[in-house]
Structure 1
Amino acid sequence: LKATNWLTLTYRAALSMNELNVKGTSKGETPSLYAQTLRSFTVVPGFSNEQARRTSRLSSEFIANVQKTFNDFRLNVIAGQYFRHSDYSESRVGAGNLVVPEVFNVSNRTGELSGSNETRRSRLFGLYGTVGVSYKGWANVEFSGRNDWTSVLAKNNNSYFYPGVSGSLVLSDALTAVKNSSVVSYLKLRASWQKIGNTDLNPYSLDATYSQINGFPFGSIPGFSADDAAYDPNLKPEFTTSKEVGFEIGFLKNRLNFEVAFYQQDNTDQIIPILVSDATGYTSSNVNAASFTNRGIELDLKLTPLIKFRNGSIDIKANASYNTSEVNKIFDNLDRIRIASGFGNAANYAVIGQPAFVLLANDYARDELGRVIVDRASGLPTQDPNLKQFGRTLPLWIIGLNPSIEWKGIQLSAVAEYKGGHYAYNQIGSDMAWTGISKASAANHRERFVFPNSVYDDGTGKYVPNTDIAVSAVNTFYTGVYREATSNFITSAAAWRIREVALGYSIPKKLLGKQQLVKAVTVALNARNLALFLPSSNEYTDPDFNNTIGNSSGINTSKIQPPTRLYGANVTITF
């Protein structure tokens, strides 16, 4: 609504809903008479489980925008209000003892039905505003502030304010020497300071919750169990304070554009699930677990066009970012905490003075030269009792490339990406070793072998090279000692990938005739996830397929589906 020539009022509302219905069935198993009588196998009854899940989100926003010009100054003021209401419900019902085989109906059963019902509701209310002043379009400054109230935190912590300020100078408009330059066509300096608040938390995470346990109700007797996640009623919002400076410069009528940004992010009171002692009666707890700092640089290069020729051109865009981090503080003044994810002793940890986050895992005991220490009698590697650190789980470098070529209405483009400097734990490697289908377990044809690069104590405390003491129990080595050293399944998470290739054709206007309805028609083919290039150490899967909790990563499971290629086509008609 244009209330006046300087005041605009905007109201918008949105409702999104999603419903998922899942049915899981099994016909069960009936072993042969031989298996039942001689091997004591028993009948496994069939089951039928049904699940209905519904989510909805209602949001509304009101914005008042004031724009006024005073001589060479332009004022832009925004005041807004935001509201969000989220609902989640899930119902499950199941029958575990089907009477008539392959009749998947929950009434076709013996015994009690199993079932559960879960509901969640949360609300967020926010007020925000910005005040921006521009002088002749080349000197700009903007102040911002926002306050949110959330229902997922306790009343004494559910309101949080976060401000910000940013400024820029377009020197190519301000300085005559730059404005009239035939080489430099654009030059801009910018800086900002911004604080962002967040509560990445499920509803009711601050309360003791109970759910019905298996086997209950037993007749008329109910039974409930406390949730296995401890709750902290004093949980606070997490904040990220960002400081950034940078510049943008363009050359040769903006055919060459280059951007650089240096930044620092101070992350405080990050809400992360951590593991707790089983003696507490819980397995994990959501706490303000850690504070850490990110520092980095972002580079962006555009050559548009790189080469120009008759009826076409070649463009290239590239970007790179370098990000390093350091954990400054940990919950309860600990030196390190385990993030609530991982397998066995391979997991993400927050460690004081180290990047956020790092992989810690079991490894073989080694001498000063890094050689594996084996038992002199069995030839089996011995295990170091202390966890070892194996690198960060978030990328140190990210590089992107986007070349494109256009000729006579034909457009061909590609997007490639590299991530590197980080590591991942692959649980699938441990599972493959357990089942005997891994590359390592087949390397010696399941024959006894001398463990490579190993040493043993000769009885005097001196380690001597092992040349003849073979592994004594090769059949159980890969299912036992080898799997216990979880470092065997940590690999580089670096990868080059071709994310997308697209080929399009814009039909010439003359082929559309003299009609005025259709302005343009474009036909395109595209393919995604075309190729993945991994280091030789990673023989498992795409390192981007992570089992992630909170803002940590680097854990891959054997239940993750392999990456897939996607092919598509589209027709775009412009009226």
Structure 2
Amino acid sequence: MTASSQAVATSWLQTDASILYSTDLNDQPWKGAGGPLLGLLAWPDTIDARDWLTPDGQRKRITTLSAASEVDNPYFSVNRNWAKTRTNRINVNVGLTLTPMSWANLRTNLGVDNYSTRTEVVRDPESSLGFSSGGTLDQNNSVTRNLAAQTLLNFNRVAITPDLGFSALLGNAINDQRTDGAGATGTRFLDPTFISINNTFNRSAINRITQRRLVGVFGQGQLDYKDYLFLTVTGRNDWTSTIPKGVNSFFYPGVSGSLVFSEAFPSIGRFMTGKLRAAWAEVGKDADPYSYAPSLESKLTSYGGYGTGFTGPNPNLRPEFAVSKEVGAELSFLDGRLAVDGTLYRRETRDQIVKNVRASYGSGYILINLNGARTRTEGIELSVSGTPLQTSDLTWDLQANFTKARGKVLAMPSNLPEYYSSDTWLYGNVRNGMGAGLSTMSLTGWWYLRNKNGELLIDPTSGLPIRDTNFTDAGYDRAPDFLIGLSNTLRWKQFSLSALLDIRKGGDVFNATEHWLTQRGLSTRTLDRWEPRVVKGVLRDGKENTDNPTSNTIVVVPAINTSYYLSMSEELFIEKDINWVRLRDVTLSYALPNGIFGTRNASVFLTGTELFLITNYSGSDPIVNGNTAATGGSGGIGIDYGNFPMPVGINFGVRVGF
């Protein structure tokens, strides 16, 4: 819910205020290991999965195996293993604008963003996930307060000459963040059907306060010549609490320019309007709180006390910087009925802070944050919009957006050979490993060994390919070649019909679900398990890199030698060059008469989302993320392990304005 108001107190004082309240409940089952999708795929088709409870509310078993060994009933997983997050947020903003003189105005804005989040994660004691611990309940309650204040002093345009003008602004910004968190973990449920921290035998609790403050001052000056040539220079200096004193003050400038050539050359302006633009900017960034100084936490061991955590401090931490360069053009034809906007850009980082790098255990810590990474991202963005049809009652608008971007790691701190987020090590031996020279969307893993000619190396004793036992790069890249978004909107009188089509070309996806099914004999690719075969490759007998390597002739029958499937490398399940065409949403709306029920405007709408998908991906849906957005970076994008496809949605709503 949102409410806002504005008031003119005097001729030189204006006020405005807004308030937003939202509540969000995210109730979802597990994905990946122990999730209901894998349970559904592995469930015996001779047993009705809907019959999952005993009369006394316990899990209905289908074998005499332990709960940790028996596949979880998918209905049981959905109802008994889950993660719930509820967030209540209130955001209040108050602004004052003072114009005591004609040549300047002062604008001050104060905003407070408060939200509380309660998270519960349950692993039922009768499930494969919670059997060994007797059930687990994780609870976390956090309250976050973000205070933001900004003051701008705007100097109106001053004519230096009849053709040349100058305008400027000065400002400062203060951002203060604080989060108070309280977490508790309980294991060994006393009553397996009652979810409460009071129903656990072993309990532990932890409180944490996180604070961060950033203060900045900035300025901007702009020159304009005859309203068609513009030059803007900016500069900002920040002081942060998350970088050691002495280097916690950092300055970053920027410059941009534009030429409205249709105004500069009137002969061109008769046929079109157009602008060329270019920009160069540097942006500084600080670190996460408590990255440079040691912090203590209570220990849950026998004798308690306090000690340092897993992540060690880095007193030499310094800000990271990114330099962006871009050029672009905006063109408009036929009185604005056809428009083209294009941008070429490049962004390079230096001294980038790499979080949670594996440290030497001799340091006393497991993880550490380091400066030193360099990355480059470059690409093109192109937008074409138009109105092919326009009458008094009927209008057809369309827009096409094309995006192509590539990211590359140029250097790693301390010549680190590989960096990865442990959260992305979801299945087998594949993770989002990155290193110098690799894509920022690369995958590393234990791939098959090959000789100098690229032929598979075969174990002479088994006839099966040999896997590396180190994480290496094999050229896999989850980044798409390009993305296209097509939107169409038809308006007829009070009706409006809009649709968004999403197109993706290229990018690799790791189908870990298919690997999991194959190793259990549940994939269609195991139907020929009784057929003898010879794996194409050369024996690792010392001759593999000579001019005459020994070709493999060892016959393998997978149904007899089950290692054929169990030792399969995950690289056989990384599907390359995945494409899709998906109908993101279709919305039909109707605008009600103005003033109805005392409203300024009102409309009703019906929206359908994810209505169809065309793809060459063999899994359920290639738009997957094995993690969440909280993982950061490329995370688990393109790692499909027990993930549900995007659901088809039907929504009905009412929009009202007062």
For the aligned pair, the TM-score class normalised by the smaller chain equals 0.7 to 0.9
Query: Is the 1:351–1:357 contact (alpha carbons within 8 Å) kept by the matching residues of 2?
Result: no
Distance in 2 between residues matched to 1:15 and 1:135, nearest whole Å: 40
1:529 matched to 2:614? The reply is no
| Alignment partner, residue 464 of structure 1 | 551
One-letter amino acid matched to 1:499: R
Distance in 2 between residues matched to 1:346 and 1:46, nearest whole Å: 29
- Residue 177 (structure 1) shift: 0.8
1:63 matched to 2:160? The reply is no
One-letter amino acid matched to 2:575: T
Decide whether aligned partners of structure 1 residues 428 and 128 sit closer, same or farther in structure 2, where only a CA change above 3 A counts.
farther
Higher deviation after alignment, 190-199 or 469-478: 469-478
**1:442-495 Cα shifts (integer Å, max 9, x gaps):** 443x5464265455579975343648433475445434x12xx23234234544
| Alignment partner, residue 21 of structure 1 | 118
Residue correspondence of structure 1 range 199-278 to structure 2 within 5 A: 199=286, 201-214=287-300, 216=301, 218=302, 221-273=303-355, 274-278=357-361
Counterpart secondary structure, 2:623: coil
Higher deviation after alignment, 346-355 or 446-455: 446-455
1:324 matched to 2:406? The reply is yes
| Alignment partner, residue 543 of structure 1 | 624
| Alignment partner, residue 362 of structure 1 | 446
Decide whether aligned partners of structure 1 residues 157 and 552 sit closer, same or farther in structure 2, where only a CA change above 3 A counts.
farther
Query: Is the 1:239–1:269 contact (alpha carbons within 8 Å) kept by the matching residues of 2?
Result: yes
Decide whether aligned partners of structure 1 residues 226 and 385 sit closer, same or farther in structure 2, where only a CA change above 3 A counts.
same
**1:347-367 Cα shifts (integer Å, max 9, x gaps):** 334333333342222222345
Distance in 2 between residues matched to 1:566 and 1:195, nearest whole Å: 42
- Residue 224 (structure 1) shift: 4.6
- Residue 557 (structure 1) shift: 6.2
One-letter amino acid matched to 1:186: T
Distance in 2 between residues matched to 1:105 and 1:384, nearest whole Å: 46
Decide whether aligned partners of structure 1 residues 422 and 47 sit closer, same or farther in structure 2, where only a CA change above 3 A counts.
closer
Percent of pairs with identical residues: 26
Decide whether aligned partners of structure 1 residues 229 and 556 sit closer, same or farther in structure 2, where only a CA change above 3 A counts.
farther
Query: Is the 1:428–1:540 contact (alpha carbons within 8 Å) kept by the matching residues of 2?
Result: no
| Alignment partner, residue 153 of structure 1 | 243
**1:485-527 Cα shifts (integer Å, max 9, x gaps):** 23234234544332222112234x5xx68x8954543222123
Decide whether aligned partners of structure 1 residues 237 and 527 sit closer, same or farther in structure 2, where only a CA change above 3 A counts.
farther
**1:277-301 Cα shifts (integer Å, max 9, x gaps):** 5555444322124112222222111
Q: Of 335, 340, 360, which residue of structure 1 is paired with 2:421?
A: 340
Residue correspondence of structure 1 range 83-162 to structure 2 within 5 A: 83-97=174-188, 106=197, 113-162=203-252
| Alignment partner, residue 368 of structure 2 | 285
Residue correspondence of structure 1 range 43-82 to structure 2 within 5 A: 45=134, 50-70=139-159, 71-82=162-173
- Residue 566 (structure 1) shift: 3.3
- Residue 547 (structure 1) shift: 5.3
| Alignment partner, residue 588 of structure 2 | 503
Counterpart secondary structure, 1:82: strand
| Alignment partner, residue 37 of structure 1 | none
Task: Calculate the TM-score normalised by the size of structure 2.
Answer: 0.74
One-letter amino acid matched to 1:211: E
- Residue 24 (structure 1) shift: 5.5
Query: Is the 1:129–1:145 contact (alpha carbons within 8 Å) kept by the matching residues of 2?
Result: yes
- Residue 316 (structure 1) shift: 1.6
| Alignment partner, residue 654 of structure 2 | 571
Decide whether aligned partners of structure 1 residues 277 and 433 sit closer, same or farther in structure 2, where only a CA change above 3 A counts.
farther
Counterpart secondary structure, 2:650: strand
| Alignment partner, residue 379 of structure 1 | 463
| Alignment partner, residue 33 of structure 1 | none
RMSD: 3.4
Distance in 1 between residues matched to 2:188 and 2:496, nearest whole Å: 60
Counterpart secondary structure, 1:242: strand
**1:501-560 Cα shifts (integer Å, max 9, x gaps):** 2112234x5xx68x8954543222123333343323555652355556442344636475
Query: Is the 1:547–1:556 contact (alpha carbons within 8 Å) kept by the matching residues of 2?
Result: no
Counterpart secondary structure, 1:253: helix
1:400 matched to 2:481? The reply is no
| Alignment partner, residue 259 of structure 2 | 169
Query: Is the 1:379–1:470 contact (alpha carbons within 8 Å) kept by the matching residues of 2?
Result: no
Query: Is the 1:379–1:471 contact (alpha carbons within 8 Å) kept by the matching residues of 2?
Result: no
**Unmatched 5+ residue regions in structure 2?**
1-97
1:416 matched to 2:501? The reply is yes
Query: Is the 1:547–1:557 contact (alpha carbons within 8 Å) kept by the matching residues of 2?
Result: no
**Unmatched 5+ residue regions in structure 1?**
31-41
Counterpart secondary structure, 2:587: strand
Decide whether aligned partners of structure 1 residues 466 and 547 sit closer, same or farther in structure 2, where only a CA change above 3 A counts.
farther
One-letter amino acid matched to 2:235: G
Distance in 2 between residues matched to 1:271 and 1:96, nearest whole Å: 36
- Residue 223 (structure 1) shift: 4.5
One-letter amino acid matched to 2:398: I
Distance in 1 between residues matched to 2:532 and 2:466, nearest whole Å: 16
One-letter amino acid matched to 1:125: V
Query: Is the 1:290–1:350 contact (alpha carbons within 8 Å) kept by the matching residues of 2?
Result: no
One-letter amino acid matched to 2:268: V
Decide whether aligned partners of structure 1 residues 206 and 449 sit closer, same or farther in structure 2, where only a CA change above 3 A counts.
farther
- Residue 168 (structure 1) shift: 0.8
Distance in 2 between residues matched to 1:436 and 1:120, nearest whole Å: 49
| Alignment partner, residue 278 of structure 2 | 191
**1:296-346 Cα shifts (integer Å, max 9, x gaps):** 22211112x123456313222112122234433221245x32223442642
Decide whether aligned partners of structure 1 residues 474 and 448 sit closer, same or farther in structure 2, where only a CA change above 3 A counts.
farther
Across the two proteins, how many residue pairs are aligned to each other?
Answer: 545
Query: Is the 1:29–1:43 contact (alpha carbons within 8 Å) kept by the matching residues of 2?
Result: no
